[in-house]
Amino acid sequence: MKLHKVTAAVCVVLCQHAFASEKTVLKIGVQSAGTLEWELRVLPQSDAFDVQIQRVATAEAAKIALQSGAVDIIVADWLWVAQARQHGAQWTLYPYSAISGALVVPADSPIEQISDLAGKRLGITGGELDKNWLLLQAVAKKEGVNLQENTEKTFGAPPLISEQLKHKRVDAILTYWHFAAQLQAEGYKQLLDGKALQEKLGIEDTVPTLGYVFNTSWANAHKPALAAFFNATAQAKNTLCNNENAWQHATATMPAPPPHLREHYCEGRIGAWTADFPVAAQKLYSILHQFNPSIGDKAELSPGTFWTTE
């Protein structure tokens, strides 16, 4: 009997230890053409979590994977989270980057300002509710131009939209920042970026344009692992910005990284979480809603749009 009790006690201790040391597996949807993969390549090892990568072709495919439960985390626009929460979804967001897309034209293009886009063919990365497209429309309306009615639009994935521009099937494109940087290196001209668009709308504070997106209930059940993951990704960003070898390794799959790619990437880093983020996002959301009420039923962000590790 004593032997049985000792054996049982040892089993309990060992089982408890095994359970306590078990890592949380974070299933992450990663776009092949996105920057998240760079960070995951230099991500520090952790006792709290393991990363399981699931590749997705586009931003829309990432959202579908998240909604179906195929992945736990994706990187997406904060605007998408805001819109989804207004319809009852429980997605929440932790800041990933403050860098945004850009409006790009050929070097010899007659397009020099937003009003010149009227009557032109415009390629847009993402969909109708892409944050950069909403920003551009809001600024254009402020300047008296309705781009929704006065442009011929083509939507698609970043590589396809770049090809549309190169083959002169569109006159200008609105694309992700790293694709804009690549086009600039090839001789194309950037007219303005998302930050400039925000400033034209009166927003000077930092708005985390992209974030890690996940389910609120799931996040609350995995707080230690998520906190460790976010600390690790911050370290990974700093490693990419401070270590040349790490940067070369992370971007090795790019045929010829443009000269200023790293500089632009590092400009998008976000420091410690502050209460200013949701305040700035609310201000911008209210302005966008004023110009385009279709983005949501209300002009206020739903509580819980931004998630904290506290």
- How far apart are alpha carbons 246 and 243 in whole angstroms? 5
3-state secondary structure the chain: CHHHHHHHHHHHHHHHHHHHHCCEEEEEEEECCCCHHHHHHCCCCCCCEEEEEEEECCHHHHHHHHHHCCCCEEEEEHHHHHHHHHCCCCEEEEEEECCCCEEEECCCCCCCCHHHHCCCEEEEECCCCCHHHHHHHHHHHHCCCCHHHHCEEEEECHHHHHHHHHCCCCCEEEECHHHHHHHHHCCCEEEEEHHHHHHHCCCCCCCCCEEEEEEHHHHHHCHHHHHHHHHHHHHHHHHHHHCHHHHHHHCCCCCCCCCCHHHHHHHCCCCCCCCHHHHHHHHHHHHHHHHCHHHCCCCCCCCCCECCCC
Instruction: Read off the CATH number of the domain in which 125 is found.
Output: 3.40.190.10
Residue 302 lies in a domain: no
Residue 5 lies in a domain: no
Rounded to the nearest 10 degrees, the angle between the axes of helix 78-86 and helix 276-291 is 70
Shared domain for 178 and 231, answered yes or no, is no
Tokens of 300: 């206020």
In order along its 310 residues, the chain shows pLDDT tens digits of 444 444 444 444 444 444 445 899 999 999 877 889 999 999 999 999 999 999 998 888 999 999 999 999 999 989 999 989 988 999 999 999 998 899 999 999 999 999 999 999 999 997 888 889 999 999 999 999 999 999 999 999 899 999 999 999 999 999 999 899 999 999 999 999 999 999 999 998 888 889 999 999 999 999 999 999 999 999 999 999 999 999 999 998 877 778 789 998 999 998 777 888 888 899 999 998 988 888 888 889 988 999 987 7
Shared domain for 150 and 210, answered yes or no, is no
Residue 217 lies in a domain: yes
Shared domain for 89 and 227, answered yes or no, is yes
Residue 6 lies in a domain: no
Shared domain for 36 and 112, answered yes or no, is no
Q: pTM of this prediction?
A: 0.85
Shared domain for 182 and 38, answered yes or no, is no
Residue 303 lies in a domain: no
Shared domain for 184 and 261, answered yes or no, is no
pLDDT tens for 253-283 read 877 778 789 998 999 998 777 888 888 899 9
Shared domain for 79 and 30, answered yes or no, is yes
Shared domain for 210 and 63, answered yes or no, is yes
In the chain, how many domains are there?
2
Last residue of a domain, one of 182, 200, 218: 200
Shared domain for 263 and 114, answered yes or no, is no
Last residue of a domain, one of 170, 200, 230: 200
Shared domain for 125 and 76, answered yes or no, is no
Domain that holds residue 84: 23-98+206-295
Shared domain for 210 and 79, answered yes or no, is yes
Residue 52 lies in a domain: yes
Shared domain for 106 and 195, answered yes or no, is yes
